Structure 1
Amino acid sequence: MGTVGGTSPARHFPVGALRRPAALLLAAALVLLLVLPGPAAAQNGEAADPAPDRPFTVDAAAAVLLDVHTGQILFAQNENERLAPASLTKIMTLLLALEDIDAGRVALSDRAVVSEAAWNLAGRGRPGGVSAMFLNVGDQVTLEELLYGIGVLSGNDASLVVAEHLAGSEEAFVRRMNERAAELGLENTHFLDSHGLSPDAATTAADMARLAAYFVRTQPDGMIYSQLPEYTYAGITQPNRNRLLLRDDRVTGLKTGYLGVAGYHLVATAESGEMSLVAAVLGAASESDRERVALELLNYGFNNFRTVAPAGDLASTTVRVYKGAADQVTVQPGQRPVVTVAAGAVDRLQWQVDLPPHLEAPVAEGQQVGRLAAVLDGRELASFDIVAAAGVERGGFFKVLVDTVRLFLAGLLGRR
């Protein structure tokens, strides 16, 4: 391959060969042997979803176990069956609020005014039988308090107050919710409100698992709003409806839901070692069933799979640069390279690096210069871009002239 865009012909070697000639085999193996229809390998670090031969069934209408880091589906049962999301809707409400905070449009200390419509969602302020913070008309509540009210208490009233505060009306906020769902590729999800009371809204276990994984990856600090075991507002203390938080130290959040037309839902996130999982359970028969099924899925994932990264320090790798103000540039993966694999096939995974023998300036920071691939038994599971960690400007006239001669002579001699 000739030089294209400042990149010379690629060299191919395992990860360990970056600093020593011996190939380094790494631990891991593909989670499952079958792959969903589509490309044989995923690009840019998104590992291809396996289509598992389901080892068991669960007592729920639909369920998905998904790896947060790679997006791999480790278990699926009726994953694309559309059901009303109920209070799982509030995951999107929380996400949009946190993204607005990140963008500086609002602050945690901002105070939102409680409307009569929000008050009505709390059973007109009467505790019992509803999911609410029990806000009063005209109350000025901080956005931080409202986020706890949504994540811990599943407050329908808090969700509406946030929607009205962020977008001016719930209708405008719901448009944002659906636009964001489309951007995230949640193709089978359609929201009709900010809280999930509508029986005509729709989602799937697969979409909710993907939404939760995105939340975990992009809003790690925001997980606190679903983690507390209880929350007190205006003298009323209520427990977190996600009781898995009290049963298993690995569980980190996220949200429960219930509607009569859909059943009992639970999206539970959990971490153990390098692994981060989401169990999405929709349409269970009871609160205890949704917890039991979610825990069964999490145990299955943690017991049978491993999340693996390359050995060695790719961030210390350098590539020769010609015609530049510097003679070399450090390269690194553009994102964290990991795959989740079956625990029993650890020794067959290889990480293969494709890098050019040299680059020609200018080189831009973040410019893709190579590729890292996870390969099992000759089959590529996932690939990750290798990028320049810093930019290298074009050198001066004499530097360019000298390096041009060097490259010409190297070409004549058949080496670079």
Structure 2
Amino acid sequence: MKYFLAAVTSLFFIFYTSDSCARRAEYTPKTQSRAVLVYDVDAGKTLYAKNIHSVYPIASITKLMMAVITLDARLPAKRIITVKPADRDLLKKTGSRLTVGSKLTRTTMLHIALMSSENRAAAALSRYYPHGRQAFIRHMNLKAKKYRMLRTHFTDPTGLSPASVSTAHDLLLLVKHASQYPVIRRYSTDKKLRVFTGKGSLIYKSSNGLINNRQWKIALQKTGFTNEAGHCMVLKTTIKHRKYIFIILGARNHYGHYADAITLKNWLLHKR
């Protein structure tokens, strides 16, 4: 009898664990953000898609394209750029520690624009572009067309304008291209930088809370927020020795984009 019970128990265990693994493999994560995409870089395929072709404001994710245009221009990296009144945010009336009259090199401006999402740095970079800011924005849109980002349109270099829009699908293309620039990978993932503005020193830190988390291996990232866009984040990361790109747009909760990123990571960790 005891052998019969042991056999039944073993069969039940095998059936239960097999069924459990199958259900876990079929599990689809629930995300709160309005558009989400997970792309397996190594396999070259999308694993998770939610509203990926819907057009939304993208806030400071815009600065990834700003960085591409800045770097492609191959302008002098050590050129001193001065913040002017034209670099202030007159749309949202947001403030900045980078006061009018501050002076930084083009390299440092780009660094804090990517790492800390410094709006005045991005605005100043666009103003110092050949033929000015409007030419800069025109080249942002031309580059978007070149990348086949067909539902994307930029109206400013910072992302403060709700008219700067894209889709999760298009932003996947942008992240793929932006990740080919070592400067963008490095500056976007730096944790902290002290800068000297001519008026004193400032310490800038990453706008992404995951950067300081040792459980995350991030090769590129950018966060963004406006009331219209919600909380947004794109990142390229390594999980279980595989490379993935996350696109997360429109989380309403202050930490919603982080919660979705963690949910997606846990899903990938347990995915067969």
> TM range, normalised to the smaller chain?
0.7 to 0.9
Given candidates 30, 41, 45, the residue that maps to 1:57 is 30
Q: Give the Cα–Cα distance (whole angstroms) in 1 for the partners of residues 263 and 78 of structure 2.
A: 39
* Residue of structure 1 in register with 2:61 after alignment: 88
Q: CA deviation at 1:273?
A: 6.1
Per the alignment, do residues 179 and 153 of structure 1 end up closer, same or farther by CA in structure 2, a change over 3 Å counting? same
Q: Is the 8 A contact 2:188 2:220 kept in 1?
A: yes
Q: Deviations over 1:224-258 (max 9, x none)?
A: 11112223334222321111111233123311111
Would you say the 8 A contact 2:29–2:267 is kept in 1? Answer: no
Which of 198, 209, 214 is residue 243 of structure 1 equivalent to? Answer: 209
Displacement of 1:114 in angstroms is 2.3
1:212 is matched with which residue? Answer: 175
Distance 1:213 1:300, change over 3 A: farther
Give the superposition deviation at 1:271.
Answer: 2.1
Query: Are 2:109 and 1:146 aligned?
Result: yes
Asked if structure 2 preserves the Cα contact closer than 8 Å seen for 1:153 and 1:241, the reply is yes
Distance apart, 1:302 and its partner CA: 5.0
* Counterpart pick for 2:89 among 117, 121, 139: 121
Greater Cα radius of gyration, structure 1 or 2:
1
Aligned to 2:190: 228
Alignment counterpart, residue 132 of structure 2, candidates 158, 169, 181: 169
Are 1:88 and 1:256, in contact at CA under 8 Å, matched by a contact in 2? yes
Distance 1:214 1:154 in 2: 19
Q: Is the 8 A contact 1:122 1:133 kept in 2?
A: no
How far apart are 1:286 and its partner, in Å? 2.5
Q: Point out the structure with the larger helix share.
A: 2
Which of 99, 109, 112 is matched with 2:78 structurally? 109
Q: Is the 8 A contact 2:112 2:204 kept in 1?
A: no
- Cα deviation code 1:6-48 (max 9, x no counterpart): xxxxxxxxxxxxxxxxxxxxxxxxxxxxxxxxxxxxxxxxxxx
- Are the equivalent residues in 2 in contact too, given 1:245–1:253 (CA < 8 A)? no
Deviations 1:99-155 (A, max 9, x none): 223xxxx1322222322211x2399xxxxx947451433x44211101111111101
Partner of 1:259: 226
Aligned to 1:290: 257
Aligned amino acid, residue 207 of structure 1 = D
Match of residue 73, structure 2, among 91, 94, 100: 100
8 A contact 2:66–2:140 mirrored in 1 = yes
Aligned residues of 2:192 and 2:204 also touching (Cα < 8 A): yes
CA distance in structure 2 between the partners assigned to 1:224 and 1:54 by the alignment: 35
- Aligned AA for 1:147? L
Which residue of the partner structure matches residue 134 of structure 1? 98
Change over 3 Å in CA distance of 1:177–1:133 after alignment to 2: farther
Give the deviation of 1:287 after TM superposition.
3.2
More moved, 225-234 vs 279-288:
225-234
Partner SS for 2:231: strand
Which ranges in structure 1 are unaligned for 5 or more consecutive residues?
A: 1-52, 124-128, 305-343, 345-416
CA distance in 2, matches of 1:68, 1:133: 37
Deviation (angstroms), 1:84: 0.6
Q: Is the 8 A contact 2:54 2:167 kept in 1?
A: yes
Matched AA of 2:191: P
Aligned residues: 241
Mapped partners of 2:27, 2:76: distance in 1: 45
* Structure 1 residue 301, shift from structure 2 partner: 3.5
Instruction: Find the aligned partners of 1:115 and 1:172 in 2 and give their Cα distance.
Output: 18
Report % sequence identity: 23
Q: Give the Cα separation in 1 of the matches to 2:80 and 2:45.
A: 40
- Name the CA shift for 1:257/1:131 in 2 (closer, same or farther; >3 Å): farther
* Equivalent residue runs for 1:9-408 within 5 Å: 55-69=28-42, 71-101=44-74, 106-118=75-87, 120-121=88-89, 130=94, 132=96, 134-137=98-101, 139-216=102-179, 218-234=180-196, 235-247=201-213, 248-272=215-239, 274-301=241-268, 303-304=270-271, 344=272
Could you tell me which amino acid in structure 2 is paired with residue 75 of structure 1?
A: Y
Deviation at 1:285, TM superposition (A): 1.6
TM-score (norm 2): 0.80
Local SS of the residue matching 2:243: strand
Contact 2:29 2:263 in 1 (8 A): no
Range moving further from structure 2, 229-238 or 140-149:
229-238
Amino acid at match of 1:236: L
CA apart distance, 1:179: 0.3
Evaluate the alpha carbon distance shift between residue 183 and residue 259 of structure 1 in structure 2; reply closer, same or farther with a 3 A threshold: same
Once residues 274 and 259 of structure 1 are traced to their aligned partners in structure 2, the CA distance between those partners, rounded to angstroms, is 34
More contact order relative to length (CA 8 Å, sep ≥ 6): 2
Cα distance, 1:158 vs structure 2: 0.5
Instruction: Determine the C-alpha separation between the residues in 1 that align with 2:86 and 2:129.
Output: 16
Structure 1 residues 82 and 56: CA distance shift in structure 2, 3 A: same
Runs of 5+ in structure 2 lacking a partner? 1-25
The residue that corresponds to 2:21 in the other structure is none
- Aligned 8 A contact 2:62 2:164 in 1: no
